[in-house]
C-alpha cells in the first residue's frame, strides 16, 4: 500500500499521463494520480473561500482502459466496530481508496495494508477528490471513495453521480454502487437514549453550499412544526454566527427547557456526550463540546429526560396502557 497525500506527484493508475492539477484547499496543490489526456483540467474547491469555477477535467473519451468499479462507502461514526460488514468487504476489495485524510485515518489497518494505493486530501477539495476517484475508476482501477456516516447524508454519493454524468460516462459503466453506513444522527442518538424515534428533520448549518437565509428559513419551518431535529455541521471557526443564529431561531419556537443531546465525536476516542437544555445551547458554542465533529439532537415538545436518557414518545402511550 502507498499513501498519497497532497505532495505526491507520481501517476498510479495507468491512464495517459498529463497531470490534472487540483487545488484541494487553497493551501495545497494536489497532483492527480490518474491524469487522463486533457491538458486544461484544473479544478478548484475552496470550501467557502473565493473560488474559481469548478471544472471537470478529463472526459470519458480520454481513458483507453476498460473501466474499473467505483463504490461510495460509508464508514459509520468512526471506530472499526461501527462499520458494517458490507462496508468492510467493499474496502477490502478496492484497489484504490480515496478520501479526506481524517476518514482515511479511521480505516482499520487490514484495509489500509491491503490497498494498493490510498489517496487522501485535507478537508475541502470534495470536487477534486471525487473526480480523482472517478478518473482512477475510468482508468481501470477498482476504487472506493470513503466518508464518515452514510454516503447519502451530506456526503459525496450524489456528487459522484453528477461528475460521472458530466464526464460523459455512466454509472453502469463503473458499476457504481453505494454502501451505506450508520449516519451521525443515529450514532449520536444512540448515545443519548431515544431522542429521534418520531418524525425528524436533519439540517446542516454549513453555508458552503446552501446560503444562510435558506438555512434560517428551514430552521424556522422545522422548529415551528414540532419535528425533532438533528443538526449537522453546527459550528466552525468561520461560522460561529450560524450557530448563534440557529440557537436564536430554536429558542423562538421551542421552550428553553427542551432537551438537546450534544454529541461530539461519537464512537471516536475523543467522544463527549451531554444532554442539556435548549436555553444552555448558546453558551456551549465556544466550548470544546461543540465543533465540526458534533451533532445536536433537539427534542420536540414531548421529549423528556428520564434516567439520563432522552425519550421522545412515539405515540404508543395514546393507544396502549403500559
Ligand atoms: C459533512 S457531514 C457528514 C455526515 C455523514 N455523511 C453522516 O452520514 O453522518 C459532517 C457532520 O457530520 C456530523 N458527524 C460526523 N461524524 C460525527 C461523529 N462521529 N460524531 C458526531 N457528529 C458527527 C457532524 O455534525 C459533522 O459536522
131 with 193, same domain: the answer is no
What is the signed CA dihedral for 28, 32, 33, 34, rounded to 10 degrees?
170
Q: Which residue has the cell 474499473?
A: 68
Report residue 1's pLDDT band, with 50, 70 and 90 as the boundaries.
low
Q: Say yes or no: CB of residue 186 within 6 Å of ligand 1.
A: no
What's the gap in Å between 317 CA and the centre of ligand 1? 32
Q: Which residues pair with 2 in a beta bridge?
A: 117
Express each pLDDT in 77-101 by its tens digit. 988 899 999 999 999 999 999 999 9
Q: What is the pLDDT of residues 237-263, one digit of tens each?
A: 988 999 999 999 999 999 999 999 999
Q: Looking at residues 11-16, what average pLDDT do you find?
A: 42
When the pLDDT of each residue in the chain is averaged and rounded to a whole number, the result is 86
In a domain, 169, yes or no: yes
Domain boundary among 151, 182, 213: 182
Q: Is ligand 1 within 6 A of the CB of residue 63?
A: no
Residue of 149, 202, 243, 272 to mutate, ligand 1, most atoms within 8 A of C-beta: 149
Task: Name which of 40-49, 57-66, 209-218, 282-291 the model is least confident about.
Answer: 40-49
Say what percent of the chain tops pLDDT 70.
Answer: 83
Strands 21-23 and 43-44 come out as parallel
3-state helix, strand, coil in the chain (%, to 5): 30, 20, 50
Pocket test for ligand 1, best of 205, 232, 237 (most atoms within 8 A of CB): 232
Asked whether residue 202 falls in the same domain as residue 149, the answer is: no
Q: 130 with 233, same domain?
A: no
Pair 150, 58 in one domain: yes
Q: Which of 156, 182, 208 is the last residue of a domain?
A: 182
| Residue 41 domain flag | no
| pLDDT tens digit sequence for 258-306 | 999 999 999 999 999 999 999 999 999 999 999 999 999 999 999 999 9
**Is 98 inside a domain boundary?**
yes
Q: How far is the CA of 310 from the centre of ligand 1 (A)?
A: 20
Looking at the DSSP bridge assignments, the partners of residue 260 are 276, 298
Cβ–ligand 1 distance for 154 under 6 Å, the answer yes
41 Cβ inside 6 Å of ligand 1: no
The answer to which of 16-25, 159-168, 206-215, 260-269 has the lowest mean pLDDT is 16-25
Q: Is residue 254 part of a domain?
A: yes
Q: For residue 10, is it within any domain?
A: no
Residue 306 falls inside a structural domain: yes
Higher pLDDT, 23 or 10: 10
Q: What is the residue range of 175's domain?
A: 53-182
The answer on pLDDT for 13 being more than 60 is: no
Residues 176 and 78 in one domain: yes
pTM of the model: 0.87
Burial label, 252 (beta-carbon count in 10 A; 0-12, 13-18, 19+)? exposed
Q: Is the CB of 312 under 6 A from ligand 1?
A: no
Residues 303 and 265 in one domain: yes
A 10 A CB-CB count for 213 gives: 9
Tell me, yes or no, whether 158 lies in a domain.
yes
Whether residue 50 is predicted with pLDDT greater than 50 in this model: the reply is no
Would you place residue 54 in the very low, low, confident or very high pLDDT band (cuts 50, 70, 90)?
low
Mean pLDDT value across residues 142-163: 97
Q: For residue 278, how far is its CA from the centre of ligand 1 (angstroms)?
A: 21
CA of 158 to the centre of ligand 1 (A): 17
Judge if the beta carbon of residue 218 lies within 6 A of ligand 1: no
Which CATH number does the domain housing residue 288 bear? 3.30.950.10
Say if strands 96-100 and 143-147 run parallel, antiparallel, or are unpaired: parallel
Residues 116 and 237 in one domain: no
Task: Give, for 96, the enclosing helix (H) or strand (E).
Answer: strand 96-100
**Ligand 1 contacts CB of residue 148 (under 6 A):** yes
pLDDT band per the 50, 70, 90 thresholds, residue 25: very low
| Pocket lining: 293 vs ligand 1, CB cutoff 6 Å | yes
Beta bridge partners of 100: 121
Q: What is the CA radius of gyration of the chain?
A: 21
| Ligand 1 neighbour 246 (Cβ under 6 A) | no
Enter the C-alpha cell of residue 50.
473565493
Confidence band for 319, pLDDT divided at 50, 70 and 90: very high
Total structural domains within the chain: 2
Q: Is residue 111 lining ligand 1, measured as CB closer than 6 Å? A: no
Q: Which ligand 1 atom sits closest to the C-alpha of 77?
A: 19
The verdict on 228 and 170 lying in the same domain is: no
- CATH number, domain at 60? 3.40.1010.10
Same domain as 205, residue 169: no
User: In what order do the strands lie in the sheet containing 193-194?
Assistant: 193-194, 309-311, 304-306
Amino acid at each position: 500500500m502507498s499513501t498519497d497525500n497532497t505532495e505526491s506527484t507520481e501517476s498510479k493508475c495507468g491512464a495517459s499521463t498529463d497531470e490534472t492539477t487540483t487545488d484541494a484547499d487553497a493551501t495545497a496543490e494536489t497532483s492527480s494520480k490518474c491524469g487522463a489526456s486533457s491538458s486544461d483540467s484544473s479544478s478548484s474547491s475552496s470550501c467557502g473561500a473565493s473560488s474559481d469555477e469548478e471544472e471537470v477535467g478529463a472526459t470519458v473519451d480520454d481513458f483507453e482502459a476498460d473501466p474499473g468499479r467505483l463504490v461510495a462507502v460509508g464508514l459509520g461514526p468512526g471506530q472499526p466496530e461501527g462499520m458494517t460488514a458490507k462496508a468492510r468487504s467493499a474496502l477490502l476489495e478496492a484497489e484504490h481508496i480515496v478520501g479526506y485524510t481524517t476518514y482515511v485515518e479511521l480505516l482499520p489497518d487490514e484495509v489500509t495494508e491491503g490497498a494498493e494505493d490510498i489517496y487522501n486530501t485535507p478537508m475541502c477539495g470534495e470536487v477534486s477528490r471525487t473526480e480523482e476517484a472517478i478518473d482512477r475508476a475510468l482508468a481501470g482501477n477498482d476504487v472506493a471513495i470513503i466518508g464518515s456516516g452514510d454516503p447519502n447524508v451530506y456526503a459525496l454519493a450524489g456528487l459522484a453521480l453528477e461528475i460521472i454524468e458530466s464526464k460523459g460516462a455512466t454509472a453502469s459503466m463503473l458499476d457504481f454502487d453505494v454502501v451505506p453506513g450508520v449516519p451521525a444522527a443515529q450514532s449520536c442518538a444512540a448515545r443519548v437514549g431515544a431522542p429521534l424515534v418520531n418524525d425528524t428533520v436533519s439540517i446542516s448549518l454549513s453555508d458552503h453550499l446552501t446560503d444562510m437565509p435558506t438555512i434560517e428559513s428551514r430552521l424556522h419551518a422545522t422548529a415551528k412544526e414540532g419535528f425533532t431535529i438533528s443538526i449537522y455541521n453546527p459550528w466552525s471557526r468561520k461560522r460561529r454566527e450560524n450557530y448563534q443564529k440557529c440557537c436564536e431561531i430554536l429558542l423562538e419556537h421551542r421552550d428553553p427547557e427542551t432537551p438537546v443531546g450534544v454529541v461530539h465525536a461519537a464512537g471516536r476516542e475523543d467522544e463527549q456526550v451531554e444532554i442539556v437544555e435548549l436555553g444552555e445551547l448558546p453558551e456551549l458554542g465556544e466550548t470544546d463540546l461543540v465543533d465540526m465533529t458534533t451533532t445536536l439532537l433537539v427534542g420536540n415538545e414531548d421529549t423528556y429526560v428520564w434516567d439520563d436518557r432522552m425519550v421522545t414518545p412515539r405515540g404508543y402511550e395514546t393507544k396502549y396502557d403500559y
